Amino acid sequence: MNKKLITLFVIVAGGIIAALLYLYFHQREQMQEMVEELEFEKEAIQDEYEDLAIQFDGYQQLDIHNDSLQEQLAKEQQRVRDLLEELRITKATNARRIAALKKELATVRAVMVTYVHQIDSLNHTNQQLTEENQQYRVRNQEITQANTQLTQVNTQLTQVVTRAAMLEVSGFECIPLNKRDRKTSYFSQIQKLQFNYAIQKNITCEPGNKTVYMVLRRPDGEVMQKRPEQLFNYENGQVPYSIRQSVEYAGETLAQTMYWQVEEILQAGTYTAEFFIDGNLCGSFTFKLEK
């Protein structure tokens, strides 16, 4: 009898333990999924804040000619920066604060819409002045000035968008290598040049495959090339390049490396390395090779 009771107790206890283990791992899995969802939501909200900050930067550079509106824009711009900084340091597991910051984002967006309407209203006023000028020659000079201001605003906005989308190269480094691909300080042993660089983060640039052109100039100013047909388009012309590299850019900082196999007689002195991406000069650097 006692053995049967013991056996029954063991079976029941084992079942309870198995159930508890199942609940534990199931809850832990649910918790992990919840944390991942919170992280994803935080990143999405942060991206929206960063986009909003860029929009405010663009409007701040416009020549609005309204001191009160300019002051309001500056105030809201600082508010977005403060909220963005708070969001960055807030843990994703702090769901209550994340939700509050998301609510603040909606409020700021509503304010932005109000300012956009005000700016549109100013533009509409300029348009009305233009129409009235057709009937009142006395106001001809005022209408001309309004049109000029509107053109300047459009030009400035275009320049802001163009500059914001341009990529930037930094962190350039040239490492001379010997025939064993090891770093060398002896000029006569240089068999290869290693170029390290990084494309900086830019959320406004369209992601995708990018072609990086590097123009390597000797101390005498001549471009180093393997073949004379190595050319790319730049400012309505064709420019010779030394190295070309395709990279997959996703908007984040991207570290890359290029190599130049030394097949010519190197010159001692200061070299120049220029990087071009999407038809823009993204970085220019110098380095020395000394005997």
- Quick one: pLDDT at residue 47? 74
Tens digits of per-residue pLDDT, 3-14?
666 676 666 666
For residues 125 and 101, membership in a common domain is answered with: yes
Query: Residue 15, Cβ neighbours under 10 Å: how many?
Result: 10
pLDDT at 186 exceeding the cut of 60: yes
For residues 130 and 213, membership in a common domain is answered with: no
Domain count, the chain: 2
HEC readout, the chain: CHHHHHHHHHHHHHHHHHHHHHHHHHHHHHHHHHHHHHHHHHHHHHHHHHHHHHHHHHHHCCCCCCHHHHHHHHHHHHHHHHHHHHHHHCCCCCHHHHHHHHHHHHHHHHHHHHHHHHHHHHHHHHHHHHHHHCCCHHHHHHHHHHHHHHHHHHHHHHHHHHHHHCCCEEEEEEEEECCCCCECCCHHHCCEEEEEEEECCCCCCCCEEEEEEEEEECCCCCECCCCCCCEEEECCEEEECCEEEEEEECCCCEEEEEEEECCCCCCCEEEEEEEEECCEEEEEEEEEECC
Q: Of 150, 165, 180, which residue constitutes the final position of a domain?
A: 165
For residues 220 and 245, membership in a common domain is answered with: yes
Give me the domain span that covers residue 207: 169-289
- Quick one: pLDDT at residue 138? 57
For residues 64 and 159, membership in a common domain is answered with: yes
For residues 161 and 182, membership in a common domain is answered with: no
Tens digits of per-residue pLDDT, 110-168?
666 676 666 666 656 656 655 666 665 656 566 666 556 555 544 544 444 445 558 99
**Beta-sheet strand order (sheet of 280-289):** 243-249, 208-217, 269-277, 280-289
The amino acid sitting at 34 is M
- Quick one: pLDDT at residue 97? 74
Q: Of 165, 186, 201, which residue constitutes the final position of a domain?
A: 165
For residues 174 and 161, membership in a common domain is answered with: no
Tens digits of per-residue pLDDT, 22-63?
555 545 555 555 555 666 666 766 677 677 667 766 666 665
- Quick one: pLDDT at residue 160? 41
Average pLDDT of the segment spanning 233-260: 95
Name the percent of the chain lying above pLDDT 90. Answer: 39
Average pLDDT of the segment spanning 272-282: 95
For residues 155 and 188, membership in a common domain is answered with: no
